[in-house]
Amino acid sequence: MDKKTLGFLISMVLIISAVLPAAGKFNYLNTVDFLEKISNTLNEYPLPPPMSIDMVLEETICRRMSVRSFTEESITDEELSTILWAAYGVTKDGNRSIFNSYGTYSTIIYVIRNDATYKYVPENHSLSLFVSGNYLHLGQYTSPIKFGLVWDKNLESDELIGMADIGMVCQDIYFNANALDLGTVTTGMYVEDLYELGIPSNEKPEIIMPLGRPSTLYSFTYDPLPEQNLPQVIDNTQNLEEAINNRLILKSWDNLPLSLLEQSQLIWSSYGYSYLYDNVNNKRHRTLPSAIGIYPFKIFAANLSGVYQYSPSTHSITQTVQGDQRDEINNCIDPNDIIITSASWIIIPFLDTNLGGSQYQRFWYYENGAIIHNVLLESAVLNLSANVIYDITNEAGLRSALGISSQPNLKPLSIIPTGNPYSTPNTPPETPEIDGPTSGSAGTAYTYTFNSVDPDVDDVYYYILWGDGHVENWNGPHSSGEDFDINHTFTIKGTFTIEAKAKDTNGYESGWGTLNVTIPRNRPFNLSIKFLNLIFEWFSYELPILRYIL
C-alpha cells in the first residue's frame, strides 16, 4: 500500500473515531461484529456451483489431449468452477475429488487471471485473493487462465507422493477442460516462475497448466480399438462428476472373479489408447499425458488365475505366470490393513528405468498418480471399489512373483487392488459425537473427545478438521464406542467449526459430526480500502453527518 493511500485510510479512521461518540449512536460490539462478518468475505471470491457435463467417463477419458494454442476468449466462472471442483473439490460425502491414502492432500492450486492470482479453497469452493496484478506471463503459452500447481512440504514430506496427487489433479483438469471444449496441457518447464507470485517457502512449484479455448476446434472420429483377447472398450452410464462422487475406497473385497469386460475396462483406463481418432493431429491419444513425450510404464495385472502384461497398442494381455500369486504379492508390500488377497484384479504399474531416467523421477510419479486416478474412476462407474498401496518393501520379490525377475530395470511404483465389495453386510460407523470447550483463549490447549459407535463393532479411525487449517488424518484404530481424547490449540482468534467423521476397518465412513468453537477476537485494525468503503456505507445510513462528509 502506498503512503498516499495509507494516509487516506488513517484520516478516515480518525474522522469516524471523532464523530461517532459525539453522535451518541455508536454501538461498539454490534459494529465490530458487523465489521468482522464483512472482513471475512473481503478477499474471498465465491464460485458458482459446478455444471453437470452430459458426457460419460469413458468418452471424457478418450477426449483427453494436450492443447498449446488458445484463443483470447475468456473462461466463464461456471466453467472455471466445474474444472476446479473436479480437480480438487470436496465430494458430497466430504472426501476430496482425488484420493490420497495418507490423507495428506498437499497440492495447492493457484488460479492466475488477468486481474489477480487466487488460491483455490476446496472447503467452501471459492477463490481467495493471493496477490493482485496480472501474472499470466508466467510459464509457457498464452491463455486467459493458468493453474499453478505446487507441493506443500508442510502437509506431505515426500515429494513423490505429492507429485502423485498432482497427477490426479491434472487428470481431472484435463478431463473437464476437454469435455467443455476447452483445452489445457501440463508443463514442467519454467515452473520456478511461480516464485514471482511470492508463494511461501514451504511450497514448491511443480506444474503450470494454461487453460483456454483451443485455436483449432476438436475433431474426433469413433474408431474402435482392435479386439483380440480383451473386449472392446464400451461406454458406461456415469459421467466424471458421478464417478468422483461414487468412488468407493475399501480395504477388502469378495474374492470373486471380475468379468473379462470389467478387467478390460480397468486395465485400458490405466494406460490404454483412445477409441476416438484425432483428425486434427492424426493420431490416437493415450488415457494420460506423457511427461517428456514417451510412455515408459509397463502395466501388469494379477487375478486368481495368474499374472498378465498389458499391451496398449493392441489392447490385449499376455500371461506371464499361471496360478494365483496374490499371497506372494502381499509378502512384498506393506498392505496397511488392505487385504490384497481378497482383491479380484490387481493392477501394478512398473516404470521401465531404461526408458524413464531418474532425472525425471518426479514426473514418473505424476504419471503414476494419473494411472491410479483413472483406475479409481473406472472402478466407480463399474460399481467396484479400489484402493492404492505405495509401500513396496521387496521390489525383487515382486518382480519374481509376476514372472519378470529377469527385468530389474522395471521398478514398481504402486499396487492398485480392485474388486466387488465384500459380500458380508457392513454398516458404516455412526456420526461421531464431539465434546469439549466451545469457547476459550488463543494459544491455550483444550481437550476434545470424539466417540463413534460401529454397529459391527469394528475398530474406528477419526478424521478431524479443526476449522483453522489443521487436520488429524485418520487417527486410530480406536475401539467402537470408546472415547478418544485429543488436545488442540487454536493459535488465532475467530469462530471455528470442528468437523469429524469415523471410518471402520473395512473403509466405510460415517457422516460428519460438528462442534462450533469461539475464540474471541480483538477489534480489527488492518483495513483495506474496500473494507473501509463497506464501513462508511454502513455508517452513512446511521449518521447524516457522515453522509454529508462522504
Tell whether 241 and 280 lie within a shared domain.
yes
pLDDT on residue 92:
83
Cα 116 to Cα 1: distance, rounded to the nearest angstrom: 16
Tell whether 188 and 247 lie within a shared domain.
no
Cα 331 to Cα 394: distance, rounded to the nearest angstrom: 8
Is residue 449 domain-resident?
A: yes
Q: What is the greatest pairwise CA distance in the chain?
A: 91
Cα 140 to Cα 155: distance, rounded to the nearest angstrom: 28
Q: Could you tell me how far CA 96 lies from the centroid of its own chain?
A: 5
Tell whether 32 and 76 lie within a shared domain.
no
Residue 387 has pLDDT above 50, yes or no: yes
Give the pLDDT band (50/70/90) at residue 535.
low
Closest CA to 109 of 91, 133, 85: 85
Tell whether 234 and 205 lie within a shared domain.
no
Cα 197 to Cα 112: distance, rounded to the nearest angstrom: 10
Residue 28 makes CB contacts below 8 A (sequence gap 6+) with none
Query: The domain spanning residue 97 has which CATH number?
Result: 3.40.109.10
Q: What is the DSSP letter of 146?
A: E
Cα 342 to Cα 337: distance, rounded to the nearest angstrom: 12
pLDDT tens, residue by residue, 138-178? 999 999 999 999 999 999 999 999 999 999 999 999 999 99
Please give the residue range of the domain that contains residue 540. 3-42+528-549
> Which of 397, 419, 441 is the C-terminal boundary of a domain?
419
pLDDT on residue 522:
44
pLDDT on residue 279:
97
- Say which amino acid occupies 412: P
Tell whether 70 and 38 lie within a shared domain.
no
Query: What are the phi and psi torsion angles at 315 (to 5°)?
Result: 45, 65
Is residue 177 domain-resident?
A: yes
Tell whether 124 and 193 lie within a shared domain.
yes
Cβ–Cβ < 8 Å for 442, 493: yes
Tell whether 442 and 413 lie within a shared domain.
no
pLDDT tens, residue by residue, 72-82? 999 999 999 99
> Which stretches within 71-204 are classed as H helix?
77-88, 159-179
Residue 1 has pLDDT above 80, yes or no: no
Decide: helix, strand or coil at residue 363: helix
Tell whether 67 and 153 lie within a shared domain.
yes
Q: What is the DSSP letter of 103?
A: S
pTM across the whole model: 0.78
Residue 235 makes CB contacts below 8 A (sequence gap 6+) with 56, 58, 59
Tell whether 25 and 82 lie within a shared domain.
no
pLDDT on residue 521:
54
Cβ–Cβ < 8 Å for 75, 144: yes
> Which stretches within 64-201 are classed as H helix?
77-88, 159-179
Q: Could you tell me how far CA 524 lies from the centroid of its own chain?
A: 34
Region label for 11, one of left (φ > 0), alpha (ψ between -120 and 50) or beta (otherwise): alpha
Tell whether 66 and 202 lie within a shared domain.
yes
pLDDT tens, residue by residue, 29-85? 444 444 444 444 457 889 999 999 999 999 999 999 999 999 999 999 999 999 999
pLDDT on residue 293:
82
Identify the sign of the CA torsion 153, 154, 155, 158.
Answer: positive
- Cα dist from 347 to 171, 243, 271, whole Å: 19, 19, 11
State the burial class of residue 508 (Cβ atoms within 10 Å of its Cβ: 0-12, 13-18, 19+): buried
Task: Name the grid cell of 539.
Answer: 455508517
Tell whether 67 and 194 lie within a shared domain.
yes
pLDDT tens, residue by residue, 470-528? 888 889 999 999 999 999 999 888 999 999 999 988 888 899 999 999 998 544 444 44
Please state the domain count of the chain: 4
Percentages helix, strand, coil for the chain, rounded to the nearest 5? 30, 30, 45
Is residue 424 domain-resident?
A: no
Tell whether 395 and 252 lie within a shared domain.
yes
